[in-house]
Amino acid sequence: MMIEKVESFIQRYKELETEMASPEVSADSSRMEKLGREYNHIGKSLPVFRTYLDTVKAISDSHELLKLESDADMIELAQEELKEKEAALPALEQEVKMLLVPRDPKDLKNAVVEIRAGTGGTEAGIFAADLYRMYTHFIENSGWSIEVLSSSAGDVGAIKEIIFLVKGSNAYGTLKYESGVHRVQRVPQTETQGRIHTSAASVAVFPEADEFEVDINPNDLRIDLYCSSGPGGQSVNTTYSAVRIVHVPTGVVVTCQDEKSQIKNKAKALKVLQQRLYEKKITEIEAVESAARKSMVGSGDRSAKIRTYNFPQNRVTDHRINLTLYSLDAVINGTLNELIDALAIADLEEKVSSSGVE
């Protein structure tokens, strides 16, 4: 069964190559991007798949040779090769199983990340800003790009809420494990007596909605224009550049005043609205899926406390997999790889055990 699945992936890779070369797909940038993500994803697995198939074939050939061969030297060589290949096979099989586990096609998409200050007053907003900087560094180190869609600032560098788009290969598949409540324990900047406070911020990560996945009827929208507020120079409180859009059927409301241009704010607000409606659909699906999942890893539960950042001990603990690292200084500066890799492996191992791949 595993050999058949490997061969089907290789066949799919060839089909994608042919499809992407067709004039119809070449003229459709959205379709080309979607197929390209799948093509690149399978392409990364091909070396392992081919090594596995070569190893299985070499073992089979050695068995056949031993049945037919009478020359002692040839038999000895065949036995040595057989021993070597059979020793390598179990590790290869495990690696192939990992690659064969059905992946969520959403994993290959860009990601939309939302950070909101939670309990803890101003300190929660400062922590939300710290999380945003942490993800910014991680995104830059990953070679991805970032675009802020909406933001709301607080006092002394705090962030009430920020929504940003992360563009990059497998961005959602990597960042999705960050969804949940993040808790911080430290002495706040506003604390005068040196007491440690506990605050929180929530992070939600969703796959970017493709245009064809969310159909918005313009007749369902109510668009209000108003003067922007906050720092920004002469345009603030003088021009109707800020935009509020209400999606009447669902009651979803989005606003944008980040840009001085009304047109740009409207475009960003529509983008956020499209994402909000997609998130609503995804959340409903994930609620059903997570009910059947034993593990919290990748379950879609965004109300659960997932991680604690303890500054006095330079400690970060991920509660889903009971992983503690004493390198908070590096983590808060964007070195998230060890945490995310451990979460991805735990999620994958759970999926392998329930996938029936043999």
Q: What is the CATH number of the domain that holds 57?
A: 1.20.58
Residue range 284-304: average pLDDT?
Answer: 57
Task: Choose the weakest-confidence range: 187-196, 232-241, 340-349.
Answer: 232-241
Mean of the per-residue pLDDT values of the chain: 85
Task: Choose the weakest-confidence range: 29-43, 175-189, 236-250, 258-272.
Answer: 236-250
Q: What is the CATH number of the domain that holds 229?
A: 3.30.160.20
Residue 266 pLDDT > 80: yes
Q: In terms of pLDDT, which residue wins out, 355 or 63? A: 63
Q: How many domains does the chain have?
A: 3
pLDDT for residue 284: 73
Domain-embedded: residue 289 = no
Domain-embedded: residue 140 = yes
Residue 235 pLDDT > 50: no
pLDDT for residue 298: 54
Domain-embedded: residue 14 = yes
pLDDT digits (tens, 9 = 90+) for 62-73: 888 888 878 888
- Out of 153-167, 186-200, 226-240, 287-301, the most confident range is 153-167
136 with 80, same domain: the answer is no
pLDDT digits (tens, 9 = 90+) for 73-92: 888 888 888 899 999 998 89
Residue 288 pLDDT > 70: no
89 with 186, same domain: the answer is no
pLDDT for residue 67: 85
CA distance 91 to 286: 33
pLDDT category at 292 given cuts 50, 70, 90 is: very low
pLDDT for residue 311: 95
pLDDT category at 178 given cuts 50, 70, 90 is: very high
158 with 51, same domain: the answer is no
241 with 336, same domain: the answer is no
Domain that residue 53 falls in: 2-100
Residue range 40-53: average pLDDT?
Answer: 91
222 with 336, same domain: the answer is no
140 with 194, same domain: the answer is yes
Looking at 252, 284, 316, which one is the last position of a domain?
284
Looking at 100, 131, 157, which one is the last position of a domain?
100
pLDDT category at 233 given cuts 50, 70, 90 is: very low
Residues in the chain: 358
Give the number of C-alpha atoms closer than 13 A to the C-alpha of residue 9, restricted to the C-beta side: 25
Domain-embedded: residue 122 = yes
186 with 73, same domain: the answer is no
Looking at 79, 100, 121, which one is the last position of a domain?
100
Residue range 135-161: average pLDDT?
Answer: 91
pLDDT digits (tens, 9 = 90+) for 88-128: 998 898 888 878 877 777 888 899 999 999 988 889 999 99
With a pLDDT cut of 70, the percent of the chain lying above it is 88
CA distance 111 to 131: 16
19 with 87, same domain: the answer is yes
Residue with the two structure tokens 């979803």: 252
Residue 51 pLDDT > 50: yes
